[in-house]
Amino acid sequence: MSDSGLSTIVARVAGLVLPMTVTVVGGFFLGGWLDTKLGTSPLLLLGFGLGGLLIGFWRMNTELQKARKKDDRDAP
* Residue 20 included in any domain: yes
What pTM, to 2 d.p., does this model score? 0.80
* Residue 76 included in any domain: no
Number of domains in the chain: 1
Provide the residue range defining the domain that includes 58: 3-64
* Residue 44 included in any domain: yes
* Residue 74 included in any domain: no
List per-residue pLDDT tens for the chain, 76 residues long: 567 778 888 888 888 899 999 999 999 999 999 999 999 999 999 999 999 999 999 999 998 898 888 878 877 6
* Residue 18 included in any domain: yes
The answer to whether the CB of 74 falls within 8 A of the CB of 38 is no
* Residue 23 included in any domain: yes
CA angle 11, 14, 15 (to 5 degrees): 85
